Amino acid sequence: MKDVAPREFNGPTERIKKGLLIVYTGDGKGKSTAAYGTVFRSLGRGFKVAVVQFIKGPWISGEIKSLEKFGSQVEYHSVGEGFTWDTKDLKKDVASAKVGWKKCLKLLKDAKHDVYLFDEIIYVLKYKFLTLEEVLSGLNEFKPSLAHVILTGRDAPVELIEWADLVTEMKVVKHPFQKGILAQPGIDY
Ligand code: ATP
Ligand code: MG
């Protein structure tokens, strides 16, 4: 189907309501930015949002500070503290990932939110701390049909891309890091 502006859309007039599985992947900056952009758009619509952050940075990010302003409209969890990444302690990393995924499944089962963001979960898949099978089968079984789920991280597996309804791949054209400019508040965190 041709991609046209909503006002020019000539297809079936009856809207199909479906909770989307959205994937933001690729090696360019903008995956979490796009995900939080969608979260804030949803919050503006009065939706309830749950966020599970799989890799906890050493600082409180701007997005957490903004989410706090929405009070009980948002539920936020961070599960990354346990990760070692250089697999010094693979068992601990796998255990942290499992705890995080259990949290995601509980949120989906409870079905109290309209939008779920599992930020950086695709890295956890990439490092094989969680299996693709457990994530896909969990989403299949527990994702509320009208709720939207957003997953972010580089190198989304092909099967996840096939499963998703919306996939955008961020491509690096330039990044300030290439000139030695480090992460900055308000832009990167
Ligand atoms: P953002 O949160 O800024 O949207 P992201 O979610 O696309 O970034 P992540 O892989 O989660 O990217 O990495 C987050 C951090 O890494 C950010 O500080 C971001 O600026 C930086 N980063 C992202 N892509 C690149 C890149 N291609 N080169 C260097 N640094 C990058
Ligand atoms: Mg990110």
Provide the pLDDT for residue 105: 98
pLDDT score of 57? 57
Q: Rounded to two decimals, what is the model's pTM?
A: 0.92
Helix (H, G, I), strand (E, B) or coil at 118: strand
Query: 14-26 pLDDT, tens per residue?
Result: 778 899 999 999 9
Dihedral of alpha carbons 138, 106, 123, 66, sign: positive
CA distance 114 to 1: 27
Nearest partner of 42 among 146, 142, 137, 140, judged by Cα: 146
Mean pLDDT value across residues 90-103: 92
CA 113/CA 53 separation, integer angstroms: 16
Q: Which ligand is in closest contact with the Cα of 189?
A: 1
The residue whose CA has the least distance to atom 29 of ligand 1 is 177
Question: Which amino acid residue places its CA nearest to atom 20 of ligand 1?
Answer: 188
Q: How confident is the model at residue 112 (pLDDT cuts 50, 70, 90)?
A: very high
Residue nearest to atom 21 of ligand 1 (CA): 29
Segment among 19-28, 69-78, 92-101 with least mean pLDDT: 92-101
> How many A from CA of 83 to the centre of ligand 1?
18
Would the CB of 126 count as within 6 Å of ligand 1? Answer: no
Nearest ligand by distance to the CA of 29: 1
In whole angstroms, what is the distance from residue 46 CA to residue 73 CA?
8
Q: Examine the pLDDT at 187 and tell me if it is beyond 90.
A: yes
Which is the closest atom of ligand 1 to the Cα of 175?
Answer: 28
Tens digits of per-residue pLDDT, 123-153?
Answer: 999 999 999 999 999 999 999 999 999 999 9
Q: Is the pLDDT of residue 167 over 60?
A: yes
What residue's CA is closest to ligand 1, atom 25?
Answer: 29
Whether 84 has a pLDDT exceeding 80, the answer reads no
User: What is each CA distance from 82 to 93, 95, 97, 99, 143, in whole angstroms?
Assistant: 6, 8, 8, 10, 26
